[in-house]
Amino acid sequence: MTRTPLVTVCVPTYNRAGYLRQCLDSILAQTVDAFELLVLDNASTDDTPEVVRHLADPRVRCVRHPENLGQIPNVNRGLELARGEFVCVCHDDDVWAPRFLERQLEVMRRHPSVALSHTAVWLCTEEGVARGVHRVSARDYLLNGREAFLRYLAFGHDVVFSTTMVRRACYQQAGPFDARYLCADFDMWLRLSLQGDVAYVAKPLAGYRVHGASASSGMTAVRWFQEYFEIFDRAVALGAPQLPELPALAGRLRARAKRFQARRARIEAAACLAAGHDAAAQEYLDAAARLDRSLPSSLATGALRLCRNAAGRSVLSGIKAVRRRVRSATSDKRQATVTQ
């Protein structure tokens, strides 16, 4: 490809040949063709090179590293090589609907203030069977960057990486993903919200594959929540020059974040119980107790098992309650239709 592409699509991959072909086919089937596709092969030892070689598409460029850089540095390498005005990163086991780029570009062109746009997703099994749709909101919205920043601090984020489109200039201003964090995306969305507004498309335009081999599956509850509040403190320091009132708000935001994350930990514990993972459930319950001291620090194994039958029902109701609370953080009057 010689002409400058409008969009750069990065697909970082490592030993996912079985999923990669479906991912790449979905990207190459887009209704918009003004893009380059960078496949960032992190020294795979499977058939990944053959999968890419057989595509024979001039929009595709494979960058194969002689040794594994690590997941986050591999993503950063893609951002360094990107030439498009807009950048998308799609995980190698996820897929896009044919109009993903078209709809995202509509958002970016209509709203020049937007730094980050993301969409709803359909959730898939490891075999690629759709099992449901995950939405942040029932409607499209445009969120002021300042509000998005404060919301992410208090309630975390609900952005699925493979659904994002970001202005490359905003990535450049924000800096690279921080490889110290497994939840480096949370850190990045906070930094990007200081660069511009955040848009959301309520139509599911990507498929997110849920399985045990996800990047976050190795994270313990202790590490996740430790990272969360390290990123929180870093973001407060970073955002203070743009938001002079932030230092005065930080205490209340942190207290709210602790309560919210304690609730999240309890929901995760219930999910672990439903799956019969008592040790993991106990870890989440301990994390919840550290975040909210009004909660018991532990439960007997027998009590955990007694709860298991009811856990499946409580997970769903708990998740719905959390989503309602997150949505209520942004008033209806601040929501606007992004796309038709």
In angstroms, the CA 9 to CA 38 distance is 6
Least Cα distance to 335 among 117, 85, 140 occurs for: 140
The residue among 228, 80, 86, 232 whose CA lies nearest residue 153 is 232
Q: What six digits make up the tokens of 176?
A: 């690279």
Q: How far apart are CA 78 and CA 96, in angstroms?
A: 19
For 274, the token pair is 């439903």
Query: In angstroms, what CA-CA distances link 206 with 128, 162, 325?
Result: 12, 7, 24
Are 42 and 74 spatial neighbours (Cβ–Cβ below 8 Å)?
A: yes
> Confidence band (pLDDT; 50, 70, 90) for 212?
low
Q: What is the pLDDT of residues 214-261, one digit of tens each?
A: 444 445 777 888 899 999 999 999 999 999 999 999 999 999 999 998
pLDDT tens profile 141-181: 999 999 999 999 999 999 999 999 999 999 999 999 999 99
Residue 330 is predicted with a pLDDT of: 38
* CA 249 to chain CA mean position, Å: 26
Residue 173 CB contacts under 8 Å (≥ 6 apart), including other chains: 195
- What is the tens place of the pLDDT at every residue in 137-148? 999 999 999 999
Structural domains of the chain sorted by starting position, each given as residue range(s) with its CATH number in brackets: 7-215 (3.90.550.10), 220-329 (no CATH)
Residue 339 backbone phi and psi in degrees, to 5: -135, 160
Q: What is the pLDDT of residues 273-329, one digit of tens each?
A: 877 778 888 888 888 888 887 765 554 333 444 344 444 444 444 444 444 444 444
Q: Is the pLDDT of residue 49 over 60?
A: yes
Q: How far apart are CA 314 and CA 320, in angstroms?
A: 10
Average pLDDT over residues 44-55: 95
Cβ contact 3:31 at 8 Å = no
Q: How far apart are the C-alpha atoms of 255 and 295, rounded to whole Å? A: 15
pTM of the model: 0.83
Q: In this structure, what token pair is assigned to residue 243? A: 């938001």
Cα–chain center distance at 158: 7
